[in-house]
Amino acid sequence: MAQDKSETEGFSAEGWTCPLPLRDYPAIVMAHGGGGKLSADLVRHLFLPLFANPALDALDDQAVIEIDGARLAISTDSFTVSPLFFPGGDIGSLAVHGTVNDVAMAGARPLYITAGFILEEGLAMDALGRIATSMAESCRRAGVQMITGDTKVVDRGHGDGVYINTTGIGIVPDGVHIAANRAKPGDVVIVSGEIGLHGITILAAREGLGFEADLESDTAPLNGLVAAMLEVTREIHCLRDPTRGGLASTLNELAASSGVGIEIDEAAVPVPPAVAAACEMLGLDPFYVANEGKLVAILPEEHAEAVLERMRSHPLGRKAAIIGRVVEEHPRVVVAKTGIGGRRVVDMLVGEQLPRIC
Amino acid sequence: MAQDKSETEGFSAEGWTCPLPLRDYPAIVMAHGGGGKLSADLVRHLFLPLFANPALDALDDQAVIEIDGARLAISTDSFTVSPLFFPGGDIGSLAVHGTVNDVAMAGARPLYITAGFILEEGLAMDALGRIATSMAESCRRAGVQMITGDTKVVDRGHGDGVYINTTGIGIVPDGVHIAANRAKPGDVVIVSGEIGLHGITILAAREGLGFEADLESDTAPLNGLVAAMLEVTREIHCLRDPTRGGLASTLNELAASSGVGIEIDEAAVPVPPAVAAACEMLGLDPFYVANEGKLVAILPEEHAEAVLERMRSHPLGRKAAIIGRVVEEHPRVVVAKTGIGGRRVVDMLVGEQLPRIC
């Protein structure tokens, strides 16, 4: 075929050789998508060197770019949760909330969202209708418009009912500069509520563990809570929603990006009794369990009480708590003071604790 | 669990009932992703009523929104092509070009792209490396920056190596107003080159049909060609890349959106001999075969020759041709004058001709 060969010159995919830190894994394992150390390795050693640019290199959960003077926050996420429907939500609401939240974590006001559906042949039309209805409801709740979408169908057995990708676009207000690398020694660490609900709910629903009745995913759009916090002060340094990898991985990412240490008071972290009981039974640590309606904020101590008070007056921040602070000591390391007065290092998630929770 | 019930009130997913035109299909079939009539039914009767807003309702392959005075074109697409590697490209280059092209079809200059990967457990790291390298090369060629991404892993058997979603963002230049509903009687229809190469290449590679050596996908970024065309005139009414569903479905979509008829001179449509031969052997119509590096333009006759000349001087438009015109007669219907002087109606693709080609 007479093709324009010059157009494909320089194409070097054949020359790709696996970088050293990835060589222990010649094939993809579940943990490469778990939000822990292997996920980070894949991003740092495979994707970043190929696509390097300032927006990507910041390694935030969203990119902030400037177009004609407006600062836009853009985030993309694919959702593969199993089961598709679970107490408190479904893959549709999760797909809207997850991306709205990643945009909001830049302090941005999410405006628009897109959806890419990968449907498995044989998916019940009724199930798709319920999922789409739930997405529409979540869009209304979050105040975002679904502006474009795409639908592909894969052969039976090559999907899992439905996978959904959402991409969100928001505007960062003037004076707001929130990024993972802005935590400073002396800053206070706040979590917006009880942790572990989403991950344990999914696990219980999937495995039929018998305590589903006590649990409900916390999936929710956090843009309203973020807007309320920014009304108190624009001096918020970091915001992140502790999804895959849980609170522990999020704190480690923020400590690493900012080059600071973080010290947590374990007893101050709100863990609901049902999550604590489930974790004890299953041998899990709630610090590593995913959340889908919680955020971690790092901000100067002088604003902490006022922000905390405002959060507690919001339906999604009623159980917000100060859980620790940023320190100069042990940079890039998160340390927890335990209930009995000891100290333990809280590491990044290694391996895969709970697959397919989002 | 004490959850904020008020936050989920109004959630009506349970109440969803399948609208009439979807009821013949109680479950998803391959053709719902084929870019033809069933795809259109799914969009019109399931998604549109739920998410209605002006940007979405336009039913273009991209949404155009205004933020702080800038007009942005946004497009999203998921790619599930099988096989992952094929003559002329791979799922990575396809995922970049496909979204770059959808943004460019608004006349926009694509600037940024995002990527969401759904990886199947067991995918060779080497294959992922080659795909990502190919995406990076395609980004450079198209002049877009990959600004953020996401990686999920699904259990072995629940994917097909890798699915990729890309979302693209571009700026629409002042004075450019390209949309599917702007075709006017008297306008000329141009296609940028030979049709059918991508679809037949994928089919041949997948089924081992033995004529793979003669074929190569036309996957390519068309933003440079579009920019060249807009240098000649901003008076281009419609642009669309005839991917799933092929040239026939694209012409039908444009005729329907604009409420006009389209008349095509069958003999004027460039079909490469290898595609014609393969189609004859397989009983396919090249008008319905997917392209990934071609565009259809509809514009006033007074600019047609100058635009055509400029296209032919561009590497991706060397075989551009005028193939027909927009007429007042038979609104929403595409008619082809056949080689032997007859006329036939060229309908939208019904069913699924070639699944999983993008």
Burial of residue A347, with CB atoms counted within 10 A of its CB: 0-12 exposed, 13-18 middle, 19 or more buried: middle
Q: From B150, which residue of chain A is nearest by alpha-carbon distance? A: A77
- Chain A interface, mutation test: which of B45, B76, B162, B194, most A Cβ atoms within 10 Å? B76
Could you report how far apart the first and last alpha carbons of chain B are, in Å? 44
Give the C-alpha separation, B182 to B254, whole Å: 9
List the CATH number of the domain containing A200. 3.90.650.10
pLDDT confidence of residue A151: 96
Q: Is residue A18 part of a domain?
A: no
**For A237, how many CA atoms within 13 A lie in the half-sphere containing its CB?**
25
Q: Partners of A67 in the beta sheet?
A: A70
pLDDT confidence of residue B302: 98
The count of structural domains within chain A is 2
- Is B8's pLDDT higher than 90? no
- Chain B interface, mutation test: which of A12, A51, A171, most B Cβ atoms within 10 Å? A51
Please say whether the dihedral angle defined by the alpha carbons of residues A262, A265, A266 and A269, taken in this order, is positive or negative: negative
Give the C-alpha separation, A151 to A166, whole Å: 12
Which positions in chain A touch B270 (Cβ < 8 Å)?
none
Place of tokens 């927890």: A336
pLDDT confidence of residue A13: 52
pTM of the predicted structure, to 2 decimals: 0.94
pLDDT in tens, A296-314: 999 999 999 999 999 999 9
Could you report how far apart the first and last alpha carbons of chain A are, in Å? 44
CB spacing of A146 vs B51 below 8 angstroms: yes
CB spacing of B159 vs A159 below 8 angstroms: yes
Among B27, B93, B135, select the one facing A124 at the smallest CB separation.
Answer: B27
Enumerate long-range contacts of B282-288, CB under 8 Å, 24 or more apart. Answer: B282/B203, B282/B209, B284/B200, B284/B353, B284/B354, B285/B248, B286/B195, B286/B196, B286/B246, B286/B247, B287/B195, B287/B246, B287/B247, B287/B248, B287/B336, B287/B346, B288/B245, B288/B246, B288/B247, B288/B248, B288/B249, B288/B349, B288/B353
CA distances from A136 to A119, A291, B6, B49 (A): 18, 22, 17, 10
Enumerate long-range contacts of B224-229, CB under 8 Å, 24 or more apart. Answer: B224/B142, B224/B314, B224/B316, B225/B192, B225/B295, B225/B311, B225/B314, B225/B316, B225/B317, B226/B104, B226/B105, B226/B107, B226/B295, B227/B109, B228/B310, B228/B311, B228/B313, B228/B314, B228/B317, B229/B297, B229/B307, B229/B310, B229/B311
Q: Is residue A6 part of a domain?
A: no
Q: Is residue A109 part of a domain?
A: yes
Q: Tell me how close the Cα of A75 comes to any Cα of chain B, in angstroms.
A: 7
Q: Are residues B134 and B152 in the same domain?
A: yes
Place of tokens 């529409």: A136
Which positions in chain B touch A108 (Cβ < 8 Å)?
none
Measured in degrees and rounded to the nearest 5, phi and psi for residue A85 equal -120, 135
Q: Give the residue-averaged pLDDT of A262-274.
A: 97
- Is B9's pLDDT higher than 50? no
Which positions in chain A touch B149 (Cβ < 8 Å)?
43, 47, 51, 56, 76
Instruction: Count other Cβ atoms within 10 Å, centred on residue A40.
Output: 21
Which positions in chain A touch B40 (Cβ < 8 Å)?
none
- Write down which residue in A120, A137, A171 finishes a domain: A171
Amino acid at A346: V
pLDDT confidence of residue A2: 35
Q: Are residues B41 and B106 in the same domain?
A: no
Among A30, A126, A150, select the one facing B77 at the smallest CB separation.
Answer: A150
Q: Are residues A66 and A201 in the same domain?
A: no
User: Encoding tokens for residue B317?
Assistant: 């438009």
pLDDT confidence of residue B13: 52
Q: Is residue A77 part of a domain?
A: yes
- Is A212's pLDDT higher than 50? yes
Pair A200, A283: CB distance under 8 Å: no
Q: Is residue A355 part of a domain?
A: no
Q: SS3 of B275, please?
A: helix
Angle at A166 between CA A165 and CA A171, to 5 degrees: 155
Give the C-alpha separation, A238 to A326, whole Å: 11
Q: From B132, which residue of chain A is nearest by alpha-carbon distance? A: A47
pLDDT confidence of residue A5: 35
Q: Is residue B20 part of a domain?
A: no
Give the C-alpha separation, A115 to A318, whole Å: 31
CB spacing of A147 vs B11 below 8 angstroms: no
Q: Tell me how close the Cα of B312 comes to any Cα of chain A, in angstroms.
A: 13
Give kind and range of the element (H or E) at residue A353.
none
Q: Are residues B70 and B50 in the same domain?
A: no
Pair B162, B84: CB distance under 8 Å: yes
Q: Are residues B220 and B335 in the same domain?
A: yes
Strands A145-154 and A109-120: parallel
Q: Is residue B3 part of a domain?
A: no
Percent of chain B exceeding pLDDT 90 equals 83
Q: Are residues B334 and B198 in the same domain?
A: yes
CA distances from A81 to A244, B8, B111, B154 (A): 12, 20, 31, 9
Mean predicted lDDT score pLDDT of chain A: 93
Peptide bond into B286 cis (omega under 30): no
Domain of residue A220, residue span: 188-345
Please say whether the dihedral angle defined by the alpha carbons of residues A323, A329, A332 and A334, taken in this order, is positive or negative: negative
Give the C-alpha separation, B129 to B131, whole Å: 5
Give the C-alpha separation, A164 to A151, whole Å: 9
Q: Are residues B196 and B296 in the same domain?
A: yes
CB spacing of B63 vs A114 below 8 angstroms: yes
Whose CA is closest to A98, among A113, A120, A83? A113
pLDDT in tens, B251-267: 999 999 999 999 999 99
Please say whether the dihedral angle defined by the alpha carbons of residues A30, A35, A41 and A43, taken in this order, is positive or negative: positive
Q: Are residues B197 and B340 in the same domain?
A: yes
Q: Are residues A132 and A211 in the same domain?
A: no
pLDDT confidence of residue B203: 92
Among A25, A60, A62, select the one facing B125 at the smallest CB separation.
Answer: A25
pLDDT in tens, B219-255: 999 999 999 999 999 999 999 999 999 999 999 999 9
- Write down which residue in B122, B146, B176 finishes a domain: B176
CB spacing of B114 vs A218 below 8 angstroms: no
pLDDT confidence of residue A4: 37
Which positions in chain A touch B3 (Cβ < 8 Å)?
88, 216, 218
Q: Are residues A332 and A241 in the same domain?
A: yes
Q: SS3 of A306, please?
A: helix
CB spacing of B1 vs A274 below 8 angstroms: yes
Which positions in chain B touch A220 (Cβ < 8 Å)?
4, 7
Peptide bond into B272 cis (omega under 30): no
User: Encoding tokens for residue A217?
Assistant: 């995913």
Instruction: Count other Cβ atoms within 10 Å, centred on residue B114.
Output: 27
pLDDT in tens, B199-218: 999 999 988 887 767 799 99
Q: Which of A116-120, A178-182, B207-211, B253-257 has the lowest mean pLDDT?
A: B207-211
Q: Are residues A197 and A325 in the same domain?
A: yes
User: Encoding tokens for residue B192?
Assistant: 């940028």
Q: Which residues make Cβ contacts (< 8 Å) with residue A302, sequence separation at least 6? A: none
Q: Which residues make Cβ contacts (< 8 Å) with residue A148, sequence separation at least 6? A: A114, B55, B56, B60, B61, B62, B63, B74, B75, B76
Q: How many residues does chain B have?
A: 358
Give the C-alpha separation, A237 to A176, whole Å: 9
Q: Tell me how close the Cα of A18 comes to any Cα of chain B, in angstroms.
A: 6
Q: Are residues B219 and B338 in the same domain?
A: yes
Position with higher pLDDT, B356 vs B246 = B246
Q: Tell me how close the Cα of A251 comes to any Cα of chain B, in angstroms.
A: 19
- Chain B interface, mutation test: which of A47, A128, A156, A165, most B Cβ atoms within 10 Å? A165
- Write down which residue in A139, A171, A203 finishes a domain: A171
User: Encoding tokens for residue B54?
Assistant: 């002006």
Give kind and range of the element (H or E) at residue B306.
helix B301-312
Place of tokens 């010159």: A9
- Is B122's pLDDT higher than 50? yes
Which positions in chain B touch A131 (Cβ < 8 Å)?
13
Q: From A81, which residue of chain B is nearest by alpha-carbon distance? A: B154
Assembly ipTM:
0.94
Q: Is residue B181 part of a domain?
A: no
Give the C-alpha separation, A88 to A74, whole Å: 26
CA distances from A104 to A99, A127, A151, A221, A312 (A): 8, 29, 26, 9, 18
Pair B195, B126: CB distance under 8 Å: no
Angle at A89 between CA A86 and CA A94, to 5 degrees: 110
Among A46, A167, A197, select the one facing B114 at the smallest CB separation.
Answer: A167
List the CATH number of the domain containing B86. 3.30.1330.10
